[in-house]
Structures are given as C-alpha cells and as structure tokens.
Amino acid sequence: MDVSSLREKHPGTYAEYESLRKGASAISNPIEVITMEEILAAVEAAGIPFKMAPGGKWRVQNNPGVQRPQGLPSMLHVSPPPDEIVGEKIGGVASTQYPESFSTGLDTMQLLAAKQKTHVRKDLKVTQDANGVAAGIHYECAMQLSKLEARIRQTEGFDNFKERRSLSYFKRLAEAGPVVSFNITPLRSDAFVVTKDTVMAIRFDPEVLGYHIVQEKAKFISGPESILVERDDSPSYVQRNRKLGEVLKWLWDAAVQPILQELNLLQSKRGTPTAALPRIWWITSGILGQFPLHAAGHRWHNSLENTLGHVVSSYIPTIRALEYAREKMACASASNPSKALIVAMPRTFGVCELIKIDPETETIAGLLGCERMQYTSKADVMRKLEHSNLVHFGCHGEADPLHPRKSCLFVAVDEDRTPERITVEDLIQTNLPDARLAYLSACSTAQSKATELNEETLHLASVFQLIGFPQVIGTALGSKRLGSK
C-alpha cells in the first residue's frame, strides 16, 4: 500500500508524513548519504543547467515556459547490465509518480549518472516556488522522514511502503494483461514491456520510430498544427481525415504491431467479440503517450490490421496508478448506493454549442434516477464531487500546453456568464474514498499538449484517476458536437 491508502486508513500518521515530506523536498525512499560531487556529476550528465544558490542550496534553472527539466529520466544513459536497466526503468520511471504526489505540489527527478560505475539512484523531490526555482535538500528533515517511513512499514498492510518494487511486483500487476511503456529519445527508442511471466525491453529501429520521426508526427496530433481540432484556417475535412489516416497507419506499422507481435497477440480472428479479446495497458509517458495507440491501424470494418481487432486498450499515467486503481476497485463495495453527479453545460459563453450534451445527460440521469446539474457554479460542483462515486461531465474542456495543472473543465451558472474553470489544481485537492467511475464527455480531457513535459502525460482524465476514480473515460480531441450514445 502507498500514501493514498495511508491517508484513508491512518489520517494522523498521513498528516505527519505529509508535513515531513514537504519539508524534506528531497527523498521519497529511505535516505542514503550522497555527496554534492555525486549529485553534480549526475545532473551534469543529464544536461540540466544548475548553480549553487546562496547558502549552499540546490537550484535548477528552469525555462519559464517549462515546469521541469526536460528529458529526465528518459534521455539518460545507464551502464548496468540489460536486466538491471529494465528494472530501473520500470521501477524508477514508470512507477515513481505515485497518485499522492499530485496532492503535495512535488515533482520527481530521478538522477542517473551517465558515466560508467557512476550511478546515482535517488528520487530527488523538488518543490518549485513561483519563479520555478527548486528548493534545497533539507537533510535533517529528510532523515526524520526516513524514520517515519520505517515506522509506517511496521504497520499491518504497509510493509512495502515507499520501497523500490521488485520485478515480481510488476509481473503481478500484469496478470490481467501486458503493460507497455514507450521510451523514445534522441539517443534510442525502446518499449519496456511487463507481462505476467517477464519484464523485457524491445528496441526499435530509429529509422522507423526515431525521436525526430515521432516528433514530426506528433505535431499533427497536438499543438497548433493539430489536424484533430477544426479551425478557421484548417484544411478541408477530407484532407485532415486523409492525414490522420496516414498517421494511424504509421503508428500501427512502427509501434503497435511490433509490440503485439512480440507478445503473440496477433492471433485474433475476424468477428471475435470485443469481450473475448485480451487486455493491454499503455503507460502514457513520453512523446508517444500523446498518440491514440488504441486507434492505430490500416483498415477497419473486418480488417485485423489495427489495434482494435486484437486487444482492448486502456491507458494509465504510471504503473503505480494501475496498482492504485485496482486497490480502489477491490475496496469499493458493490452494496454502496450510487451517488451520481451529472454536470451539463451544452452552451458556454464564447465557445461553440455542444448540441448532443442535453440528450446524453438527460438519458443518463433517467437511467440512474438522479438529477443533473445544468448551469451551475464551480463551488457547487466541487462540493458535490466529494460526495459522489459516479460522475459525468458534459461540457467544454481545455488542455493547457505550458501549464498542465491549469487544464480545466468549464462550468457556469448560465450560458451568458464567463465560465469558471475547474482545473487540475482544484481536482488534486479533493479526497474521494468511494469514487468508482468518471465519464468526461468534454473536449481534450485525455489530451496532453505539453510536449516539453512528456516524461509524464498529465491531463484531466489521468488526474481523475489519481484522485480516486479507478475507472475513467475521457476524450482525446475537440469536437463541436460532442456526445455519446
């Protein structure tokens, strides 16, 4: 169990732990003393601009438009044997961003020195101030945090609290289906794959799935040149549809098909019911996390040259988020009555009308036997959200490319008022112990446009999962007629 479980089961200990962790701003695992020379060697190898602040405090020079140094940890060289590399990648990257880390304002950097036998394995937590300057390491406070973590591990059910996970731990999480994380960098391209039997790395030809190729394709998925969002100066629908088809074909040939072939998951026959297909989980880290891997393919209808013909895809921000979601599902009681929150904003001031939202939300409210909140305030939504286990938002949303924490859903008390924003920052303050399902029928809720921050894809759908909803459905593109049946 992790901090999310500690918060629910031992709130007093959790409060003490949070206080120490914020003060330490440094280490999530038990402390081992490392020298400043080792830290500087690791940071220098990672190519992070740095300097020592007055008083010996550690500072990272951030670009004002970027929320953390780019390229950590995916761009770092490591020198241990291959098995150790895989374990470090899966254990340290795909899992270090715990659900609870979003509630503390802390970011994680894993510094790995790119020199032979110089390998600093530390999770350095840095708390950023308003100017984007990281605070220093507070050794004494971190030591107290280490002692508290040791004490927590003596509590029943928390014996592995904050300890680095073993390969058997990851294989256990893949019993229901493989977990795949792509690692695309200017240096090399790999996929790290966890199955119930093994953990492996699959290397790609850089001429097929190289960083610059993926970067070129990504501009058609997100950003100012995206073909998924209609603008006044957009090419015609036919032209955009043709370009999207080309991207999805490339995505299948270059990335998805090789993974499914390696996993022996290309055995489906035409007409196989979706319920009979195997499951696969894609970790949405890295630049490839922006792509619709579930929609990759050449032809549809009766064709098997696509992802949908072979597997049922789910997305997770990190592998620990998968563990967290499954813990929540296991704890959720089917006997608890459904407490649904349905928010409908078909018309929002300054943006186009969502003409299908009214019938969609009316149908769902009728099925669940509950009221829907149409044109309501942010305060009312946030108050009712904390007491709901099923939520449905039918409204406009927005992904902020430079500040993902400001990505938002729009609500307003009437259609002529300037809308209020329910942001990622607002959502991460909530505590939802009984949450079950969130359906975000809003534009861009599963889209991250922050290419500079592609070490971890943070968007509204992943945040709803991290704040407590084990099952979340989001949308990856904008639409004038958004609605579902």
Q: How far is it, in rounded angstroms, from Cα 308 to Cα 305?
A: 9
With CA atoms as reference, report the closest residue to 480 among 372, 357, 342.
357
Written as one string, the DSSP assignment of 332-360 is --TTSPP-EEEEE-S--TTS---TTHHHH
- Grouping H, G, I as helix, E, B as strand and the rest as coil, residue 108 is strand
Does the pLDDT at position 52 exceed 60? Answer: no
Residue 313 and residue 293 in contact, taking contact as beta carbons nearer than 8 Å: yes
Strand ordering across the sheet containing 420-423 = 397-398, 408-411, 420-423
Question: What's the whole-number mean pLDDT along residues 190-213?
Answer: 94
Dihedral of the alpha carbons of 376, 378, 382, 385, in degrees to the nearest 10? 40
With CA atoms as reference, report the closest residue to 304 among 261, 358, 360.
261
Q: How far is it, in rounded angstroms, from Cα 191 to Cα 212?
A: 17
Q: How far is it, in rounded angstroms, from Cα 177 to Cα 196?
A: 8
* Selected residue with higher pLDDT from 200 and 8: 200
pLDDT of residue 320: 80
Residue 164 and residue 153 in contact, taking contact as beta carbons nearer than 8 Å: no
- Other beta carbons less than 10 A from residue 232's beta carbon: 4
Does the pLDDT at position 130 exceed 50? Answer: no
With CA atoms as reference, report the closest residue to 481 among 371, 356, 381, 360.
356
Does the pLDDT at position 91 exceed 60? Answer: no
Residue 432 and residue 469 in contact, taking contact as beta carbons nearer than 8 Å: yes
Mean pLDDT check: name the lowest of 70-74, 91-95, 476-480.
91-95
Does the pLDDT at position 311 exceed 90? Answer: yes
- Percent share of the chain, pLDDT over 90: 24
Q: How far is it, in rounded angstroms, from Cα 107 to Cα 123?
A: 10
**Exposure of 423 in the CB half-sphere (CA atoms within 13 A):** 11
Q: How far is it, in rounded angstroms, from Cα 470 to Cα 327?
A: 8
The region, left, alpha or beta by phi > 0 then psi within -120 to 50, assigned to residue 336 is: beta
CA distances from 329 to 98, 284, 391 (A): 17, 21, 16
Residue 409 and residue 278 in contact, taking contact as beta carbons nearer than 8 Å: no
Residue with tokens 């709901």: 388
Predicted TM-score (pTM) of the model is 0.67
Confidence of residue 177 (pLDDT cuts 50, 70, 90): very high
pLDDT of residue 114: 29
Q: How far is it, in rounded angstroms, from Cα 242 to Cα 456?
A: 30
Pairing of strands 408-411, 420-423: antiparallel
Q: Report pLDDT digits (tens) over 202-221.
A: 999 999 999 999 999 988 88
Does the pLDDT at position 413 exceed 80? Answer: yes
Burial class (CB in 10 A: 0-12, 13-18, 19+), 332: middle
Q: Which of 9-23, 31-45, 143-157, 228-242 has the highest mean pLDDT?
A: 143-157
Mean pLDDT check: name the lowest of 51-60, 199-208, 232-241.
51-60
pLDDT of residue 62: 38
With CA atoms as reference, report the closest residue to 455 among 60, 45, 96, 58.
96
* Selected residue with higher pLDDT from 345 and 18: 345
Residue 476 and residue 443 in contact, taking contact as beta carbons nearer than 8 Å: no
Does the pLDDT at position 82 exceed 60? Answer: no
Question: What's the whole-number mean pLDDT along residues 249-255?
Answer: 97
With CA atoms as reference, report the closest residue to 397 among 337, 339, 348, 430.
348
Does the pLDDT at position 273 exceed 70? Answer: yes
**Domains of the chain, earliest start first:** 3-33+130-153 (no CATH), 167-315 (3.30.420), 333-473 (3.40.50)
CA distances from 340 to 191, 223, 393, 446, 473 (A): 39, 34, 11, 21, 15
- Other beta carbons less than 10 A from residue 298's beta carbon: 14
Does the pLDDT at position 345 exceed 60? Answer: yes
Q: How far is it, in rounded angstroms, from Cα 114 to Cα 39?
A: 12
Residue 344 and residue 302 in contact, taking contact as beta carbons nearer than 8 Å: no
Mean pLDDT check: name the lowest of 173-182, 262-271, 415-424.
415-424
Q: What are residue 479's phi and psi, to 5 degrees?
A: -155, 145
Written as one string, the DSSP assignment of 394-440 is EE-EE--SS-GGG-EEEE-SSTTSPPEEEEHHHHTT---TT--EEEE
Question: What's the whole-number mean pLDDT along residues 436-457?
Answer: 60
pLDDT mean across residues, the chain: 71
Q: How far is it, in rounded angstroms, from Cα 118 to Cα 288?
A: 29
Instruction: Extract the tokens encoding 292.
Output: 């619709």
Residue 378 and residue 417 in contact, taking contact as beta carbons nearer than 8 Å: no
